[in-house]
């Protein structure tokens, strides 16, 4: 007998309550420019679910630097307006940029220099539902996104990312607020899981 998926039930209830208040994507349609920063250095996403930093943080800079010179495709997951993607493209990398909001991806395509467009791919999707082929990427960058996930969804996401990476590929992740959102026990269990499976994840 299949066990009930309590995480899925909680996620459905949360998303349902959000939808009743407002369709998070309804107000993004037709917007073609990056908004002004709401706080210094932080640009709000169109769906009002977070922020993108105007400049590369240390983790995103590592993504660009450590992907440089590798032969293959890099994934920028939860890219928003693509500050990390644009920097990677500028350094000659091939990047697949993914975000839950198509309007963000449309703005990214618009902001990408013409000479870099042939090395850019985009795909709309959300974690943990989105899928890619196994061993598709040399590096995976995911900044300020993982803290939105429920514990089981986070574990599913990390497992999927592990499969998406080529041998000796690297995660480059910034999982902010995991401790605050999911608590000490989950944080400790995630560290144990990292040691068991050998994820390339800095915690």
62-112 pLDDT tens trace: 999 999 988 899 999 999 999 999 999 999 999 999 999 999 999 999 999
pLDDT of residue 8: 60
Check residue 39 and report its DSSP letter: B
Joined tokens for residue 167: 């041998």
Q: By three-state DSSP, how is residue 184 classified?
A: helix
Domain boundaries, the chain: 49-197
- CATH class of the structural domain 49-197: alpha beta
Residue 159 has pLDDT above 90, yes or no: yes
20 vs 125: which has the higher pLDDT: 125
Name the pLDDT band for 198 (thresholds 50, 70, 90). Answer: very low
Residues 6+ apart with CB under 8 A from 20: none
Q: How far is CA 161 from the centre of its chain?
A: 11
pTM over 0.75: no
């Amino acid at each position: 007998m299949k066990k009930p998926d309590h995480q899925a039930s909680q996620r459905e209830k949360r998303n349902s309550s959000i939808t009743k208040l407002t369709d998070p994507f309804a107000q993004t349609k037709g917007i073609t420019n990056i908004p002004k920063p709401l706080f210094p250095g932080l640009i709000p996403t169109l769906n009002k679910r977070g922020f993108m930093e105007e400049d590369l943080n240390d983790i995103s800079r590592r993504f660009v630097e450590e992907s440089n010179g590798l032969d293959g495709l890099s994934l920028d997951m939860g890219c928003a307006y693509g500050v990390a993607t644009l920097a990677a493209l500028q350094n000659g990398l091939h990047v697949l940029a993914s975000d839950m909001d198509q309007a963000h991806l449309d703005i990214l395509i618009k902001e990408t220099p013409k000479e870099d467009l042939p090395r850019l791919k985009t795909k709309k999707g959300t974690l943990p539902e989105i899928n890619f082929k196994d061993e598709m990427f040399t590096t995976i960058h995911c900044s300020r996104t993982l803290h939105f996930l429920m514990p089981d969804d986070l574990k599913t996401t990390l497992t999927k990312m592990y499969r998406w990476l080529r041998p000796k590929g690297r995660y480059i992740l910034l999982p902010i607020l995991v401790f605050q959102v999911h608590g000490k026990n989950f944080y400790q269990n995630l560290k144990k899981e990292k040691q068991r499976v050998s994820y390339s994840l800095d915690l």
